[in-house]
Amino acid sequence: MSDTAELFPGVARHHLRMPHVEPGMTVGLFGGSFNPPHEGHLLVTETAIRRLRLDQLWWIVTPGNPLKDTTELPPLAERIAWSEKINGDPRVKVTAFEASHQVRFTADTLALVRRYNPRVRFIWVMGADNLASFHRWQNWQDIALTFPIAVVDRPGSTLSYLSSKMAKSFAYARIDESDAALLSTLPAPAWTFLHGPRSPVSSTAIRNGEVSARKKA
C-alpha cells in the first residue's frame, strides 16, 4: 500500500481500499474516469440507488480507461476530490481501490470485488452510452457472468441497447425494469435497462467548454 500511495500522491489511504460493507448489503459499482464528474453521473447514481434499492453505490475512479487516451488525464487525487465534492449522498462511496491492486480492466475489478466480499450482493451499473461498445471491453462476457448489470438511460442512447452485441448475446437474461429491485437477488447473467431523468452533459463536452458540469436536462 505504501508503494502504491507514492505512485498516486495526494490520494488518501482510505480511497485506496474498498469501502466497508456488511454481509447482505446490496451495492452498486459505477466505474469511470470522472474527468470531470457531472450532472449525468449524478442522475445515473440517483436512478440506480432508487430503482435498485442500493445500500451503497461505489464510484470507482479508475487510474485510466484502457480504451481511452490517458495522456492528458488529470491526476487521480484531483478526480477523486471532484467526485467527493459533487456527491452529497452518504450512500455514495468514492474509491480508487483499482490503483492499489493495479487493475484497470472491469472484468478483473469485478473478480477482485467478488473475492473480497463473497456475502455482498453487487450490481454493475453503467450508462447506456457505454452499451454499444461494451463488447470491446476485455473479457466482456465474463463481466456479464460475474454480477447482474443495470444499464441506465443516457441521451441519444435509448435505442442503442437494441442493436448492441451485449444486448443480443444476453437477451435471454434481461428482466423488465419494473422488476429492477429484484436484480441483485438474481444470479448472473441478469440485466435490466432503466429509464429515468437524463442530462445531456458529458465529460467530453465539459472539457471542450461546451457546457457546465451542473447543467440540467
- CATH number, residue 175: 3.40.50.620
pLDDT the model gives residue 32: 93
pLDDT by residue for the chain (217 residues), tens only, comes to 445 656 788 999 999 999 999 999 999 999 999 999 999 899 999 999 999 999 999 999 998 766 565 667 899 999 999 999 999 999 999 999 999 999 989 999 999 999 999 999 999 999 888 888 899 999 999 999 999 999 998 765 556 566 889 999 999 999 999 999 999 999 999 999 998 765 455 444 444 455 554 443 3
pLDDT the model gives residue 2: 47
- The verdict on residue 79 lying in a domain is yes
Amino acid at 37: P
- The verdict on residue 215 lying in a domain is no
Are 176 and 191 in contact by the 8 Å Cβ rule? The answer is no
| Grid cell in block for residue 23 | 454481509
- The verdict on residue 145 lying in a domain is yes
- The verdict on residue 216 lying in a domain is no
The phi and psi torsions of 127 (rounded to 5 degrees) equal -75, 150
Residue 64, Cα to own-chain centre: how many angstroms? 14
| Grid cell in block for residue 1 | 500500500
Are 30 and 54 in contact by the 8 Å Cβ rule? The answer is no
Please tell me the total count of domains within the chain.
Answer: 1
- The verdict on residue 213 lying in a domain is no
Q: End-to-end CA distance of the chain, in Å?
A: 41
- The verdict on residue 48 lying in a domain is yes
The phi and psi torsions of 125 (rounded to 5 degrees) equal -110, 130
- The verdict on residue 169 lying in a domain is yes
Which residues constitute the domain of residue 26?
2-207
Q: How far lies 146's CA from each of 87, 104, 161, 180, 200, in Å? A: 27, 16, 20, 18, 30
- The verdict on residue 217 lying in a domain is no
Residue whose C-alpha is closest to residue 206's, from 61, 38, 70? 38
